[in-house]
Structure 1
Amino acid sequence: MMQMIKGYLAFALMVLMAVPAAAEDITVFAAASLKNAMDEVAAGFEAAAGHGVTVSYAGSSALARQIELGAPADVFVSANPGWMDRLDEAGKTEGGTRVDLLGNRIVLIAHGVAEPVEVGAGMDLAGMLGDGRLAMALVDAVPAGIYGKAALESLGLWKSVEARVVQADNVRAALKLVAIGEAPMGVVYATDAAAEEGVSVLGVFPEDSHPPIVYPVAAMTGRLSPMVAEFLGYLQSGAAREVFKRHGFTVLAD
């Protein structure tokens, strides 16, 4: 009997050795505003490195909370430093891997084709909305909504439109509300507006009307394999930089 068991074990070992090792995969949690650019960057990494990449997109707040609850993300790219800070404080990020990767702008958009306006303290945003709503990402949780609310408050416009704001789970959902005409106007990232043919940019919010828009990236605690390190390096490579720039992001990482 023992001889038979040894024979089965030897056979099983031969089978395992004969099966090619599967290429490593990486799981990335990324802010929804990164989708178009990150899809392209991930495909470039897969072609160059031979590793599969799965990217999950949502609002940074939702992704950070999932990571806090144990979601198996290898890499997180947040649309603002605050949610990455929270993971840092919770011991969820791998020390020495955090980098400020990208920058962005927020813009006022309209459904269809519309004439540009000067976005500033003197604009009658409430009047421009008419009977319609202003689409924004969640203003107290999602970075695009947080930045947008800060800008509107800074310009003295928030109180006049607060009751007219329709909030979406993430910035791409807010963008879609405007693109399909459910809301005549919205506040989104410049990169989102560039990715959607159904909207036009009315104007760009002054940079000093809101905190700087920064996208930090980091590996999660215990997930820094050679493959993850390679991916983090690729995000800062010339190939990735060109993709991010083409999609309208400012590249911050050296």
Structure 2
Amino acid sequence: MDERDWKILDVLFEQKNITKSAEILFVSQPALTKRLMQIEEQFGVKIVDRGIRGVQFTSQGEYLAHRASQMLTLYREIKEDVSNMNDDIVGTLRIGVTNFFGKYILPEIIQQFTEKYPKVSFQVETGVSKEIFNLTYSNHLHIGLVRGDYSWPDQKLLLFNENVVIASKSKITLEQLPDLPRVDFGTDHLFKSLVDNWWNNNYPKPPQVIMKVDRGDTCKEMVTRGIGYSIMPHLFFQDKPDIYQIPLKDKDGTPILRPTWMFYHESSMEQNVVKAFVEFIKEISI
């Protein structure tokens, strides 16, 4: 068994599908099936059953899949430790970002960082803030770039604040909102609670939500085409100066802001590549 074999078991256990696993692993389906049969022969057990519902792991297969995850973590830690034995900035930085940050902000950061440290590679995970928070907390990621006021027990750096706005293709007023069509998008519970609390503090009836989409970018396009208004972070519309925006404010007239934080563990700063990235972020203006 080598790292590739453990990776096969890990991915297949997550996907429960030979075709999808082969695509992720960049191998052909017959090659993956053949290698899986060789692993079964090596251990003398049946690892999976294949049926109309996809791949089902046997009890022995589940055990090997769980051990595969542990082995891959061990391989990764060994590689990082070996790379860290000299003063060179080299290795793979595991970083997690929100979908918005990954599309609009992270590419420029990576470009600047790799120009300074060309031997560094990146493994980037994207998702909603809660997912990135959990992956960083459990040390699956070195760095988590998260939107919202999460309670983080270790090291953190405030990157920036942004206004939360009511965005519409045409000019609207706060008084009109309860009777206007609204588009919502899938987001983390902190942002949803922020918006819901603001609404409940200002209106006696629920909003007229006519559509809910899975991503902020999709919601942005719906707003741009005049399908409805939405309540979103301002940065979604930084390239849309023609979109009418009303900053959200509390009852005291204070703008409602959404922070973006960099979370990391102090222990991870022992890794040269992590320390270099943290110091780099502190030096630049995002």
Verify same fold: TM over 0.5: yes
Cα 1:59–1:210, aligned 2, differ >3 Å: closer, same or farther? farther
Task: State which drifts further: 213-222 or 70-79.
Answer: 213-222
CA distances 1:200-226 after superposition (whole Å, capped 9, x unpaired): 233221265775422221214743312
Give the deviation of 1:180 after TM superposition: 6.0
Q: What is the match of residue 149 of structure 1?
A: 196
Give the deviation of 1:155 after TM superposition: 2.4
Give the deviation of 1:232 after TM superposition: 1.2
5+ long unaligned stretches in structure 2: 1-87
Alignment RMSD, CA only?
A: 3.1
- What pairs with 1:1-254 in structure 2 (closer than 5 Å)? 23-35=90-102, 36-50=104-118, 51-67=120-136, 70=138, 72-82=140-150, 85=151, 88=153, 95=154, 97-110=155-168, 113-115=169-171, 117-118=172-173, 120=174, 123-129=175-181, 133-138=182-187, 141-156=188-203, 159-161=205-207, 164=209, 166-179=211-224, 183-195=227-239, 200-206=243-249, 208=253, 212-220=257-265, 222-224=267-269, 225-237=271-283, 240-241=284-285, 244=286
CA distances 1:146-174 after superposition (whole Å, capped 9, x unpaired): 332232223226x330x626444453343
Between the two structures, name the one with larger relative contact order (CA 8 Å, sep ≥ 6): 1
Distance 2:275 2:221 in 1: 34
Indicate conservation of the 8 Å contact 2:135/2:141, yes or no: no
Cα 1:57–1:173, aligned 2, differ >3 Å: closer, same or farther? farther
Amino acid at match of 2:126: Y
Distance 1:232 1:100 in 2: 12
Cα 1:107–1:62, aligned 2, differ >3 Å: closer, same or farther? same
CA distances 1:127-186 after superposition (whole Å, capped 9, x unpaired): 232xxx422344xx34443332232223226x330x6264444533433443466x4221
Cα 1:57–1:137, aligned 2, differ >3 Å: closer, same or farther? same
Q: What TM-score results when the alignment is normalised by the length of structure 1?
A: 0.63
CA distances 1:21-61 after superposition (whole Å, capped 9, x unpaired): 99412121112332312221121111122222343222102
Indicate conservation of the 8 Å contact 1:145/1:171, yes or no: no
5+ long unaligned stretches in structure 1: 1-20, 89-94, 245-254
Cα 1:125–1:101, aligned 2, differ >3 Å: closer, same or farther? same
Aligned residues: 194
Q: Aligned residues: percent identity?
A: 7
Distance 1:143 1:171 in 2: 15
